[in-house]
């Protein structure tokens, strides 16, 4: 049952997986929120854990950076390990003027400059979208927590260093924030007939020159973690 990237056996992984890009954030979630935790993967230091949150089995696993990396790990979770739901919990850069540092953004859709969709040979442009049941559960959890959050379109970029400096073009289309994983996650879920959602915390505002520290990004963005966990146990 194991893959070149995951040493888990059948039954080791829960039906719902939280997926941060940073494997150390996966460990942080496991150690601070889950009970009866078992580590099922350490290949490439892409840690994966299964435990219980309020009595419900939940797994958490790193995805790495970028659409190619989360594309591999989420494909295997959906198609090899029979995972039904993946909730990405990560960081993003604010694009919209009204999105502030440390705000939570729930990705209803994910625009992209990636060619990831070419593999499906579609006769047009595909619009990657979140699963409604995960989206609605996350919104309810965010409202119950009283978090400052926004719901809307993310931009999943292929590039971290973009020579074209194109954020202003996405801003005029009311894209809320830029990140690097949601679009391929949403496409993998759609192709597998499964569910996916991206919840991100704004770690920087590139158009305004604002940023948080690396340690904050790894350990202190708890609102999105708790929103994702609360949404997960309602499924």
Report the 10 Å Cβ neighbour count for 43.
14
Decide if 76 contacts 62 (C-beta within 8 A).
Answer: no
Query: Which residue in the block uniquely carries the two structure tokens 């419900």?
Result: 56
Which contiguous run of DSSP H or E holds residue 205?
strand 195-205
Nearest 10 degrees: CA dihedral of 190, 193, 198, 199? 150
- Give yes or no for a contact between 187 and 159, defined as CB atoms under 8 angstroms apart: no
Q: Are strands 35-41 and 104-112 parallel, antiparallel or unpaired?
A: unpaired
Catalytic residue flag (residue 204): yes
- What's the start-to-end Cα distance of the chain, in Å? 26
Closest CA to 107 of 181, 189, 191: 181
Q: Which of 22, 103, 204, 223 is catalytic?
A: 204
**């292929």: which residue's tokens?**
158
Alpha helices for the chain (secondary structure H): 23-33, 67-79, 132-145, 167-171, 182-192, 214-219, 222-232
Looking at residue 45, the DSSP 8-state letter turns out to be G
Residues forming the active site: 204
């Amino acid at each position: 049952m194991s893959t070149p990237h995951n040493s888990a056996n059948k039954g080791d992984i829960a039906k719902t997986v939280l997926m941060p890009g940073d494997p150390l954030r996966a460990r942080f979630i496991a150690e601070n929120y889950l009970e009866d935790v078992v580590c099922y993967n350490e290949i490439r230091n892409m840690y994966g854990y299964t435990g219980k949150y309020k009595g419900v089995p939940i797994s958490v696993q790193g995805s790495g950076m970028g659409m190619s990396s989360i594309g591999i790990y989420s494909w295997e979770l959906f198609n090899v390990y029979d995972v039904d739901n993946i909730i990405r919990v990560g960081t993003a850069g604010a694009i919209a003027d009204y999105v502030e540092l440390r705000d939570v953004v729930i990705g209803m859709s994910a625009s992209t400059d990636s060619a990831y969709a070419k593999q499906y040979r579609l006769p047009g442009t595909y619009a990657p979208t979140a699963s409604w049941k995960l989206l609605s559960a996350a919104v309810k959890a965010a409202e119950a927590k009283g978090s400052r959050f926004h719901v809307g379109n993310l931009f999943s970029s292929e590039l971290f260093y973009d020579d074209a400096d194109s954020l202003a073009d996405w801003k005029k289309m009311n894209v809320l924030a830029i990140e690097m994983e949601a679009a391929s996650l949403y496409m993998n879920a759609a192709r597998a007939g499964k569910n996916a959602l991206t919840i991100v915390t704004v770690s920087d505002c590139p158009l305004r020159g604002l940023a948080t520290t690396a340690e904050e990004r790894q350990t202190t963005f708890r609102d999105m973690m708790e929103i994702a966990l609360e949404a997960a146990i309602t499924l």
